[in-house]
Amino acid sequence: MYAERPLREYLDDLAARKPAPGGGSAAALEAAIGCALISMVTNFTISNKKYIDVKKKAEMCLKISEALRKKLIRLVDEDVKAYTELSNAFKGLAKDSPELEQAYKNACSVPEEICNTAYEAIGLCKDLVEFGNKNLVTDTAIAALMLESAFFGAKFNVYINLKYIRDTQFIQKAHDRLSKIEDAIPKIKEEILHRAQEIILK
């Protein structure tokens, strides 16, 4: 799938009149880039003798950010697959069929996973802006911005699929899970940007 193909090819397909990739997959890619920026900052922190006291903390941050990045790259392709399966189900099934309802439920799972992963990653930024290499503080801030954007992009994809689901309990649980973190993410981002600006203007 796209994880093994050139970025230009992905962007060409994203721009084309094709059902997938779409916004959900793009949100996963955006979050993966955010994680890559976290990894870059931690790598520069680890390699700089000035930050020897936080080397272990940076190494742990790098380990987590790389695991999240790999997960998000997988989700780029999984979102394409989920939407393709939903599109095929929509063409072949009655609108009120249980099978189509299940296809919509399945289509919610990937963007919700993107949301959760972006939330976990932006937490790394909150720590990294404090202990990371100060020469790359803008990269940490950009990572936080991208992760917030990816979260809300993926959240909208969850909600658009929920619109076509009749199972009210399923809908409520999904809303409850996302609402717990959607209020927190902008606050975390603002803390990171405020701290980054303090460091830049120092």
Flag whether 5 is in a domain: no
Measured distance CA(77)–CA(183) in Å, rounded: 28
pLDDT at 73: 97
Q: State the pLDDT confidence band at 109, using cuts at 50, 70 and 90.
A: very high
pLDDT at 93: 75
Flag whether 172 is in a domain: yes
Q: Which domain holds residue 145?
A: 21-79+92-201
Flag whether 11 is in a domain: no
pLDDT at 76: 96
DSSP secondary structure code for residue 183 in this structure: T
Q: What is the CATH number of the domain that holds 165?
A: 1.20.120.680
Flag whether 29 is in a domain: yes
pLDDT at 160: 95
Flag whether 166 is in a domain: yes
Flag whether 65 is in a domain: yes
How confident is the model over 169-195, as a mean pLDDT? 96
How confident is the model over 62-71, as a mean pLDDT? 98
pLDDT at 16: 95
Flag whether 73 is in a domain: yes
Nearest Cα neighbor of 192 from 100, 118, 105, 130 is 130
Give 183-201 pLDDT, tens digit per residue: 999 999 999 999 999 999 9
pLDDT at 2: 82
Domain count for the chain, please give it.
1
